Structure 1
Amino acid sequence: MPAIAKVTKEMIIDAAFEIAKEMGAENITARTVSQKLGCSTQPVLYHFKTIEDVRIAAHKKASEFHMNYVTNLNGRYERPMLEVGMRHIQFAVEEKNLFCFLFHSNYYTGISLSDWFTGEIFDSLFPILKRQAKVDRRQAYSIFSQILLVTHGIASLLADNAMVYDEAYCINTLSDAYFGIMYLIKTGQNADGNL
């Protein structure tokens, strides 16, 4: 008789991630995960105390997937920051279930905007922005934070089916925001988002 394949914690997380991606995170249950793995619910509940812990682990995996997706730049757009913004928007279009799980659920950790910019992935983008825009770190932070807010607003509307994806419109909107912020910085006006 062949040995029964052991279900690992990583296999459970991968299955929960796939369920979130295909059907939405609300469908992550011990039963759906076990069905995806072709096993009983026992291994799921052996590795995780609750199904909530499975969802939290799947959310972390989805977050890593999103960051890799957004920062996988291939030079399709003329400016790196435009490409990062467009990748975030395209993620919302192509991976609606994951986008909603990441940003429109109670699993989002609620970190502040400044916390986003202290992570190592975004740290790699600041030198690009500083060089491209010829600005200092504070100005780069201001540009990036404001572009992120515009980008995330568009992405959220698309993920919620509140608008139809139009690549040219998105490019123009992000470019207008970028050049508007650059104008404020170059003319010495406040571009920190204060009214």
Structure 2
Amino acid sequence: MPPKKQITKEIILEKAFAITKEFGFDSISARTLAKQLDCSTQPIYQAFTDMDGLKTAIIEKSISIMLNFIIEHKDPTLPEELGFIIGYVQFANLEKQLFALLFSSGTNGLIHSFATSRQINFNMDMIIYANGMIMMSTFHALNQSWEEKKSMLIHAYELFCQVQL
């Protein structure tokens, strides 16, 4: 008799994360995941008490990946917080499903605590400006090249930093 296939917690999380990246967070269910893993739902519920536990793990992994991306793609020639914002916009453009998950699932407090633990500070004015740019790009209302968008972010940063009341 062949040995039983071992489905670990890590394997389950990786498959669920891959599904999330490709099809979105709402596509995750125990049955969908079990089908992709070619197993019953039992290993999923053994590894994660319930689907909320799995979904929390997916969110935490997504936050970690986003923050690592921001740090790794920060332009060292720019002020640090501007570099973080540019990385944030790049992440949103490259990882649309993960970005949608993180900013439509009420995880802002969790993101803030993760960011703080990695010493990433975001200027709130720039976050609002960047999110507007991201939304306009998502809905094809802003079709500028990446270099033009980066220039717009730099200009906005310069304007926000000059304002002193």
Which interval holds the TM-score relative to the shorter structure?
0.7 to 0.9
CA shift in 2, pair 1:91/1:112, >3 Å: closer
Of the candidates 136, 153, 156, which is equivalent to residue 174 of structure 1?
A: 153
Give the C-alpha shift of residue 65 in structure 1: 0.9
* Residue type at the aligned position of 1:54: L
Alignment of 1:94-105 (within 5 A): 94-105=94-105
Q: Which amino acid aligns with 2:107?
A: T
Letter in 2 for 1:109: T
Larger radius of gyration: 1
The match for 1:135 is none
Secondary structure of 1:49's counterpart equals coil
C-alpha distance in 1 between matches for 2:59 and 2:115: 20
Kindly indicate whether the alpha-carbon contact (under 8 Å) linking 2:74 and 2:84 is maintained by their aligned counterparts in 1. no
Tell me the CA shift for residue 74 of structure 1.
6.0
Within a 5 Å distance, the mapping from 1:109-128 to structure 2 comes to: 109-111=107-109, 115=112, 119-121=116-118, 123=119, 125=120
Q: For this pair of structures, how many residues does the alignment match?
A: 164
| Aligned-partner residue type, residue 92 of structure 1 | A
Q: Deviations over 1:128-164 (max 9, x none)?
A: xxxxxxxxxxxxx7xx232222223322333455543
* Aligned CA distance change for structure 1 residues 5 and 20 (closer, same or farther; 3 Å): same
TM-score by length of 1: 0.71
Unaligned runs of 5+ in 1: 127-140, 191-195
Aligned residue number for residue 31 of structure 1: 31
CA distance in 1: counterparts of 2:128 and 2:24, whole angstroms: 24
* Correspondences of 1:77-156 after superposition (within 5 Å): 78-79=77-78, 80-105=80-105, 108-111=106-109, 115=112, 119-121=116-118, 123=119, 125=120, 144-156=123-135
Instruction: Name whichever of 40-49 and 163-172 sits farther off.
Output: 163-172
Corresponding residue for residue 72 of structure 1:
72
SS in 2 for 1:173: helix
CA distance in 2, matches of 1:160, 1:52: 30
Percent identity over paired residues: 27
Task: Kindly report the root-mean-square deviation, in angstroms, between the aligned alpha carbons of the 2 structures.
Answer: 2.7
Q: Residue in 2 aligned with 1:164?
A: 143
Q: Cα 1:182–1:46, aligned 2, differ >3 Å: closer, same or farther?
A: same
Distance in 1 between the 2:29 and 2:114 partners?
A: 33
* Code of the aligned partner of 2:127: L
Q: Which residue of 1 aligns with 2:51?
A: 51
Task: Output the amino acid matched with 1:111.
Answer: G
